[in-house]
Structure 1
Amino acid sequence: MSRRAVITGLGFITSIGNDRAAVTRSLRTLTPGLAPVEFLGNPALPVKVAGTIKAFDVASPSWRDWTFPPCYNVPRETLRSLAPHGLYAFCAVEQALTDAQLAADALTDGATGLYCASAGSAFLLHHHLAHMHAVRGERGNPMGVVASIAGTLNFNLAAHYGIRGAVGGFVAACASSSHALGCALDDLRLGRQTRMLVVGAEEVNAETILPFAAMRALSTNPDPATASRPFDQTRDGFVAAGGAVCLILEERETALARHAPIYAELIGWGQAADGYNVAISHPEGAGLAEAIRRALADAGVAPAAIDYVNAHATSTPAGDRSEALALRRAFTDAGVRPRISSTKGLTGHPLSMAGVMETAFCALALRDGFTPGNANLTTPDEACAGLDLPRNTLDAAPSLVLNNSSGFGGSNVCHVLRAP
């Protein structure tokens, strides 16, 4: 476990930008990526806002109808087995490879692996199953399974890039890509791999988003400027989002030997479950507080060393309160006050890709020297008493940051990053 891991490449297809420069600009200026939406042609639906992906049109179930930026050369044989979020993921990987100064053939060495996170494509799965029923099972799309089920990202990306190292998918709801990143870190530390691509992606469509409305988890605020407001007293649910992020993690000596750019070092992670409820976080934040403690212990740092926390806070009443109490237990009770923000006020909540996306945001903050603020935070919830929640992005360079993720079933995962 003596080997060290660094972040050398990032790729973004997100609601706040489709490249590193645009994402950084949005984080610095607190420019949101939320927009009005209408699902299923039904204006009566209470969900009016989502974190949309610009410059892509993937509304059709047929890949032949999709449009996307011409800078991405997606081979026909690859495109035909992709879901919409698979296309996002492909573009994010291409960006990350360029960013890390890696040629695609470097991924075929057997020492490079791929871990992915997504819920699959409910959109395509519904389409293919409806067709199967319509023809009474006599015909079907031969690519229907690999394009739609939960492993679609790892199937398609591993095959396209010829990856022969560790390949797998992670399904832990909104903590999925954080699990993927933690396991990737362990693989590098243990010498099992020298490089790992970690990818999270989700779609922005009715099939992915509206089921959460039935749980009363989504905001019904129709104003894109204020619908997502983590930690605020007036929050009423999360705003769903999609896109894809790719993060390239490399063994440090390997990265230095090839003079790779280094954003940050990933120095520890921890996980702990609530064991409380299938959907709701522990009311006192017990599992998350323990995950934070384990992450700090793994990294070998004290709570006082953390400068900034990127919170999971999605803008739901119960979830944000639970996390605020966990942060108070981990930091305030120890007499320290790191700056804390949830960037979901800008992006919305992209479900399983949230962890890798926000780790990438932390890497940008560490390398470029800023601390993201809390968009739309007007009056903090009383549970946030004692927490430092800056309203605006600060030109203050953190040196150690913590990133939190939580998912259904009380799955909590935290990562600690250090400036390069």
Structure 2
Amino acid sequence: MSRSVLITGLGFITSIGNDAATVSESLRSGRGGMALHPLWDNPNIPVKVAAPVRDFTVDSPSWRDWSWPARYDVPRETLRSLAPHGVYAFCAMEQALADAGLTKADLGNGETGLFCASAGSAFMLHHHLAHARSSNFERGNPMGVVTSIAGTLNFNLAAHYGITGAVAGFVSACASSSHAIGYAIDEIRLGRQERMIVVGAEELNADTLLPFAPMRALSLNTDPATASRPFDTARDGFVGTGGAVVLIIEEASLARRRGATPYAELIGWGQASDGHSVAISHPEGAGLREAMKRALRDAGVTPGQIDYINAHATSTPIGDRAEAIALRTVFTDTGASPVVSSTKGLTGHGLSMAGAMEAGFCALALREGFMPGNAHLSHADETCAGLNLPRETLSVAPSLVLNNSSGFGGSNVCHVLRRI
């Protein structure tokens, strides 16, 4: 367990920017990605705000209608088996490889693995099934399965890039890409792989987002400036977003031999389940509390050494409250006062890609020397008493950062990152 694990490359396709420089500027300035967004053609639906990805058009079920920035060359044979969020993932992958100084030729020696996270594409699944049913299942798209089921990212990216190391997909709802990062850390620590690529991606369309409406999980606020406000007393649900984030994670000696410039070191992670509800967080954040403790123990650090926490807080009344209580138990009650913020106030909630996206934000904060603030936070919920929740981004360099994620079924995953 002495092998060190470094983040050496990042790729971003997000609502707050489609490259690391733009994302960093958005986090520093508090520029969000929310908009009144006509994702569904029904004025009776009360959900009006979303956080779209710009410069991509992937709202058709036919890949022939899609478009993306000209800098990316997506081969036709690859497009045919991609879902819309697979296009985001492909472009973020190209970014991350270039950022890390890697090429496709570097990935096929068995020492590089790929862990991905997405819920699949309900949009494409519904389209393909409707087509098959219209012919009483006598016809269908031969790529229908691989474009739509939850493993679509790992199927497509592993094949395109010729990756012959460990390849797997993770499905634990909003903790999925955080699980992918955690197990990627272990693959490298245990000597099974020298390099891991972690991908988180999701679509933003009616099929992905609106099933959350009957759960009363989505914000009904029609003002993009305040619809996503984690920890605020007036929060009423999350704002959906899509996109993709890719992290290149490498064993430290390999990174040094290559001359890579790391963003940060991943020094520990932990996970725990609430064992409480299929959909709702434990009211006192029991699982998240234990996951944070386990991550700190794995990293060999104390609560008082953590400078910044990127909270999972999605802007839902129950989830934010549970996390605030867990944070107070682990940190405030032990005399620690790290800066805490939820960047979902800017980005919206990326579902299974959230953990990877926010780990990427933490890596930027560590290398560039800032701590994101809490956008749109006006009046903190009373359960946040004692938490250090700055409104504005702080131009202060953290040394140790904790990144939290929580998902359905009570899955909780936390990572500790250290400045190099």
Deviations 1:9-32 (A, max 9, x none): 000000000000110000000000
Partner residue in 2 for 1:32: 32
Partner residue in 1 for 2:232: 232
Could you tell me how far apart the structure 2 residues matched to 1:329 and 1:285 are? 9
What SS does structure 2 have at the residue aligned with 1:108? coil
What SS does structure 1 have at the residue aligned with 2:213? helix
Deviations 1:371-417 (A, max 9, x none): 00000000000000000001000100000000000000110000000
Could you tell me how far apart the structure 1 residues matched to 2:100 and 2:228 are? 32
Residue 319 (structure 1) aligned with residue 330 (structure 2): no
TM-score (norm 2): 1.00
Task: Kindly report which structure 2 residues correspond to 1:331-342, keeping only aligned pairs within 5 A, or say none.
Answer: 331-342=331-342
What SS does structure 2 have at the residue aligned with 1:214? coil
Could you tell me how far apart the structure 1 residues matched to 2:258 and 2:73 are? 26
TM-score (norm 1): 1.00
Distance apart, 1:104 and its partner CA: 1.2
Amino acid across the alignment from 2:177: S
What SS does structure 2 have at the residue aligned with 1:281? coil
What SS does structure 1 have at the residue aligned with 2:96? helix
Partner residue in 2 for 1:130: 130
Deviations 1:158-216 (A, max 9, x none): 00000000000000000000000000000000000000000000000000000000111
Partner residue in 2 for 1:369: 369
Residue 383 (structure 1) aligned with residue 372 (structure 2): no
Distance apart, 1:95 and its partner CA: 0.1
Partner residue in 2 for 1:53: 53
Distance apart, 1:93 and its partner CA: 0.3
Could you tell me how far apart the structure 1 residues matched to 2:297 and 2:341 are? 22
Distance apart, 1:40 and its partner CA: 2.9
Deviations 1:248-304 (A, max 9, x none): 000000001111010000000000000000000000111101000000000000111
Partner residue in 2 for 1:172: 172
Could you tell me how far apart the structure 1 residues matched to 2:210 and 2:393 are? 32
Partner residue in 1 for 2:63: 63
Residue 160 (structure 1) aligned with residue 160 (structure 2): yes
Partner residue in 2 for 1:204: 204
Task: Kindly report which structure 2 residues correspond to 1:3-18, keeping only aligned pairs within 5 A, or say none.
Answer: 3-18=3-18
Contact 1:5–1:266, Cα closer than 8 Å, also in 2 = yes
Distance apart, 1:348 and its partner CA: 0.1
Could you tell me how far apart the structure 1 residues matched to 2:40 and 2:130 are? 16
Residue 347 (structure 1) aligned with residue 353 (structure 2): no
Could you tell me how far apart the structure 1 residues matched to 2:39 and 2:386 are? 40
What SS does structure 2 have at the residue aligned with 1:413? strand
Could you tell me how far apart the structure 1 residues matched to 2:324 and 2:155 are? 38
Could you tell me how far apart the structure 2 residues matched to 1:84 and 1:344 are? 22
Partner residue in 1 for 2:279: 279
Distance apart, 1:218 and its partner CA: 0.1
Partner residue in 1 for 2:329: 329
Contact 1:202–1:353, Cα closer than 8 Å, also in 2 = yes
Amino acid across the alignment from 2:298: D
Partner residue in 2 for 1:86: 86
Could you tell me how far apart the structure 1 residues matched to 2:168 and 2:101 are? 24
Distance apart, 1:364 and its partner CA: 0.1
Distance apart, 1:35 and its partner CA: 1.1
Could you tell me how far apart the structure 2 residues matched to 1:31 and 1:397 are? 20
Partner residue in 2 for 1:269: 269
What SS does structure 2 have at the residue aligned with 1:169? strand
Could you tell me how far apart the structure 1 residues matched to 2:80 and 2:70 are? 17
Residue 413 (structure 1) aligned with residue 413 (structure 2): yes
Gaps of 5+ in 2: none
Contact 1:39–1:45, Cα closer than 8 Å, also in 2 = no
Could you tell me how far apart the structure 2 residues matched to 1:144 and 1:17 are? 30
Amino acid across the alignment from 1:236: D
Partner residue in 2 for 1:254: 254
Distance apart, 1:221 and its partner CA: 0.3
Q: Which runs of 4 or more aligned residues in structure 1 lie more than 2 Å from their structure 2 counterparts after TM superposition?
A: none
Amino acid across the alignment from 2:168: G
Partner residue in 2 for 1:401: 401
Distance apart, 1:349 and its partner CA: 0.1
Amino acid across the alignment from 2:303: P
Amino acid across the alignment from 1:85: H
Amino acid across the alignment from 1:345: G
Residue 72 (structure 1) aligned with residue 72 (structure 2): yes
RMSD (Å) for aligned C-alpha atoms: 0.5
Amino acid across the alignment from 2:396: A
Could you tell me how far apart the structure 1 residues matched to 2:208 and 2:261 are? 35
Could you tell me how far apart the structure 1 residues matched to 2:158 and 2:419 are? 30
Identity between Structure 1 and Structure 2 (%):
71
Amino acid across the alignment from 1:96: A
What SS does structure 1 have at the residue aligned with 2:116? strand
Partner residue in 2 for 1:183: 183
What SS does structure 1 have at the residue aligned with 2:115? strand
Deviations 1:37-95 (A, max 9, x none): 12331122111011101000001000000011011001100011000000000000000
Partner residue in 2 for 1:116: 116
